[in-house]
Amino acid sequence: MTTINLPLDGKIAPYTLTGTPIAVVKRQPKDFSRIAYAAAHVVADPFADNDPWLTPAIDWDRTLAFRHRLWDLGLGVAEAMDTAQRGMGLGWPEAQQLIKRALAEAASRSDALIACGAGTDHLAPGPDVTIDTIIRAYEEQIETIEASGGRIILMASRALAAAAKSPDDYVRVYDRILRQVREPVVIHWLGEMFDPALEGYWGNADHIAAMATCLEVIEANAAKVDGIKVSLLSKEKEITMRRQLPASVRMYTGDDFNYAELIAGDEKGHSDALLGIFDAIAPAASAALEALGHDRNGEFFELLEPTVPLSRHIFKAPTRFYKTGIVFLAYLNGLQDHFTMIGGQQSTRSLSHLAELFRLADKARVLDDPDLAVTRMKRVLAVHGVA
């Protein structure tokens, strides 16, 4: 067994790896009884001559190769979402390129499930921003995605959160947009723990009251809504909403704390999945979903439940910095050759946080090659002065 010295409680302590990696096995969406999207990260180009805080530089080859890995495992790709650092380093100009390139790659396969984030992030919130301005901003991004043959994930809007005077403004915007889309969309309700600028979304700081407005929008436009992704990190709120959705509308869990039990469901229903953590634990998620699809429920929980402590650590407050853990695990697993992020976001988590992530990833069996992971962890430790 391999042992590595890691920070623990302000000291350096030996840690011996025990996890047996979950095999990477090719699968297809038809192997699953749930629809499962992984919100995918982008790989930065560490050799670009740019100002990382100001100008994103993307390694397109590695970024797109990672999407093929997700498709090979049977998972869908939720493209240009917050996991791709949308609004935290990835602007709409870069997101357009990402969407167009990813859709072209998806078109080269017969088994690629993909949907793309449309929002208003090219519109800076301000006193001159009106509801009509926000509608036009949504329309612009939707038109771009649909022109490339993409389906829409309708992202929450910081501009709308700032400009809306009441729940009626949300109803007006979503009604107008949903009447226009070509295909049913996934609405994304992203909670303030992921993005503080979205506090009070749907016109109310109380999530249950906000839920009533969201349900009103969905019920009035059910034919244009494939599902809703709820990212509130509350299984109780997700289940409450799930049980009130029209029969034709899916609940896509965005709960990176409780996804295993929400996907498994209960006698009254289940959630499908659209999760950032599936980027990091893709082989485990794929194997677990295949087991669930063949009624091996015990195996489903055996594979997926050990990943939950890892996910809760990666998504701990400040939750918006979870992308750092996602990319760090991709680096440990050899899916990119560096631990560099657009916007310099690799600096948002401490060495102690990364060390605990390493331990939990081992216990969850999601270090694809433990020897490689140890080598790369040692490099990060060395940069921080740990011999």
Q: pLDDT for 288-305, tens place per residue?
A: 999 999 999 999 999 999
pLDDT tens by residue, 84-117: 999 999 999 999 999 999 999 999 999 999 999 9
Tell me how many degrees the CA angle 345-346-349 measures, rounded to the nearest 5.
Answer: 100
* Mean pLDDT along residues 307-331: 98
pLDDT on residue 125: 80
Which whole number is the average pLDDT over 145-162? 97
Residue 386 falls inside a structural domain: no
Question: What is the pLDDT at residue 126?
Answer: 83
Q: For residue 264, is it within any domain?
A: yes
Torsion of CA 368, 385, 42, 32, to 10 degrees: 30
pLDDT higher at 291 or 54: 291
Report yes or no on 48 lying in a domain. yes
**284 neighbors 304 (Cβ within 8 angstroms):** yes
196 by DSSP, 3-state: which?
helix
Nearest one of 250, 178, 171, 187 to 221, comparing CA atoms: 178
pLDDT one-digit tens code per residue, 162-190: 999 999 999 999 999 999 999 999 999 99
Residues 119-151 pLDDT 10s: 999 998 888 999 999 999 999 999 999 999 999
Q: What are phi and psi of 122, to 5 degrees?
A: -85, 0
Share of residues in the chain with pLDDT > 70 (%):
100
346, 340 Cβ separation under 8 angstroms: yes
Tens of pLDDT, residues 250-292: 999 999 999 999 999 999 999 999 999 999 999 999 999 999 9
pLDDT of 115 reads 98
Structure tokens at 100: 């167009």
Task: Provide the domain limits for residue 297.
Answer: 23-347
What are the φ/ψ torsions at residue 116 (nearest 5 degrees)? -125, 145
Q: Mean pLDDT across the stretch 22-37?
A: 97
In this predicted structure, what is the pLDDT of residue 108? 97
Residue located via tokens 């990382």:
52
Q: Is residue 9 part of a domain?
A: no
Is position 5 within any domain? no
**Encoding tokens for residue 135?**
């509608």
- If DSSP codes are grouped into helix, strand and coil, which group holds residue 200? coil
Residue found by looking up tokens 């840690």 in the block? 15
CA distance 283 to 149: 28
Inside any domain, residue 237: yes
pLDDT at residue number 1: 76
CA distance 372 to 204: 48
Provide φ and ψ at 16, rounded to 5°: -105, 125
Mean pLDDT of the chain: 97
Q: Is residue 277 part of a domain?
A: yes
Beta bridge partners of 273: 36, 253
Q: Residue type at 238?
A: E
Kindly report the CATH number assigned to the domain that includes residue 208: 3.20.20.70
Give the model's pLDDT for residue 215.
98
Q: So what's the pLDDT on residue 387?
A: 76
What local confidence, expressed as pLDDT, does residue 132 receive? Answer: 97
**Strands 36-39 and 11-16, sheet pairing:** unpaired
Q: Which amino acid is located at 8 in the chain?
A: L
Return the higher-pLDDT residue of 125 and 13: 13
- Give Cα separations from 44 to 62, 142, 179, 324, 339 (angstroms): 9, 25, 37, 12, 9
What's the domain count of the chain? 1
Closest listed residue to residue 134, CA positions, set 167, 156, 153, 116: 156
Q: In the chain, where does DSSP find H-type helix?
A: 60-72, 92-107, 131-147, 158-163, 167-180, 207-220, 235-242, 259-264, 277-280, 282-293, 297-304, 307-314, 322-332, 351-363, 370-383
Higher pLDDT, 353 or 127: 353
Q: What is the pLDDT of residue 145?
A: 98
CA distances from 33 to 96, 137, 175, 265, 376 (A): 32, 36, 31, 12, 36
* 8 Å CB contact between 35 and 272: yes
pLDDT of residue 203: 98
What are the tens digits of pLDDT across the range 182-234? 999 999 999 999 999 999 999 999 999 999 999 999 999 999 999 999 999 99
**Whole-angstrom distance, CA of residue 219 vs CA of residue 240:** 15
* Within-domain flag for 69: yes
